[in-house]
Amino acid sequence: MAAKPIALILGAGPRIGSSVAQRFASNGYRVVVASRNGTGSKTSEGYLSLKADFTKPDSVPALFDAVKAEFNAAPDTVIYNAAALTPPTDKDSALSIPVESVVSDLNVNTVSPYVAAQQAVAGWATLPADIKKTFIYTGNFLNMVVKPVPVYINLGMGKAASAFWLGVADGTYTSKGYRFFFADERTATGDSKGKDIDGPAHADFFAQLASHEGNVPWLATFVKDKGYVKFH
């Protein structure tokens, strides 16, 4: 009997992270959640909980080592759901954000997920060829739209940069069967969901992406109850 698949959720917050964890567990996955509040033990739901600090990209490989130590296998599905934003000290000046905050937020939004993708690829090479391998990054509209709103600058820089490397990765690893997705929930008219993002909708769509169903492109814009919808 084949071992159950493994989903590693990096950034397991109360909305998207929690919903995604529940969905993958119900689909038969062994689930690992990593967050600032990780305990290093099992949660009441049976997930392996790991403590993580995504401002420090060099700490990411240890999370993958912990998964392998626990299950003797690499995660076949990796979901990066962490994000960071620092408001400018002058609300009307985007360039008033301290440089150290820019670096810290870029680590969370871009560098740590890049390291996680490197670790995912290294682990996938050890898994059987028939297992689907998937990396999903929780994005938003800021990779496509430049809004003159100073508070968005660090988050927008990070999302835009990550969208680029995810698109390149998806295109270059397709021959190996590896998929990389920038998942972005939208309204039915294609507008940003903003703070109204829907956890269960992400869970449904991420489960579809992990199964490689529907020929969804790397820029995976989606609508609740509809799945992938092309807006660009």
Tokens of 76: 């076949």
Terminal CA-CA length for the chain: 43
Locus of tokens 């990389």: 180
Catalytic residue among 51, 56, 91, 159: 159
Phi, psi of 6 (to 5 degrees): -125, 130
Using left for φ > 0, alpha for ψ between -120 and 50, and beta otherwise, residue 191 falls in beta
- Residue 159 annotated among the catalytic residues of the structure: yes
Locus of tokens 């508070």: 151
Residues in a beta bridge with 78: 8, 135
Count CB atoms within 10 A of the CB of residue 212: 13
**Residue from 182, 176, 82, 72 nearest 133 by CA:** 176
Q: Where are the alpha helices (DSSP H) in 72-229?
A: 99-106, 112-124, 153-173, 199-210
Residue 172, C-beta contacts closer than 8 angstroms, at least 6 positions apart: none
Question: What are the b/e assignments for 84-101, b being 16+ CB within 10 Å?
Answer: bbbebeeeeebeebeeeb
**Is 219:182 a contact under the CB 8 Å cutoff?**
yes
* Residues taking part in catalysis: 159
